[in-house]
Structure formats: structure tokens, C-alpha cells
Amino acid sequence: MTMRNCNCPFCGETVTILAHHIEKKHGKTPEEEE
């Protein structure tokens, strides 16, 4: 499990755990969780 920064497709923010960020900030679960 590698931690790496990704850009959020919704707000363009750089986050470490994209799925958690989207869930918390945008209330959505991304379809790609791998």
C-alpha cells in the first residue's frame, strides 16, 4: 500500500488518500478505489 499524492478530480486539491478526501469533502465514493 503506497501513499502518494493525487489531484482530486472535483476540486483539484492535492491529497494523499483520494478516496477519503472525496468521501469527506464531497460526499461521494470514487468508483476506482485501487
- Return d(Cα 15, Cα 26) in angstroms, integer: 13
Q: Domain limits of the chain?
A: 1-34
- Return d(Cα 21, Cα 14) in angstroms, integer: 10
Task: Yes or no: say if 25 and 11 are a contact pair by the CB < 8 Å rule.
Answer: yes
Quote the pLDDT of residue 28.
Answer: 78
Model pLDDT for residues 1-34, shown as the tens digit of each residue: 466 788 998 899 999 988 889 889 988 765 655 4
Quote the pLDDT of residue 3.
Answer: 63
Q: pTM, whole model, 2 decimals?
A: 0.60
Quote the pLDDT of residue 1.
Answer: 44
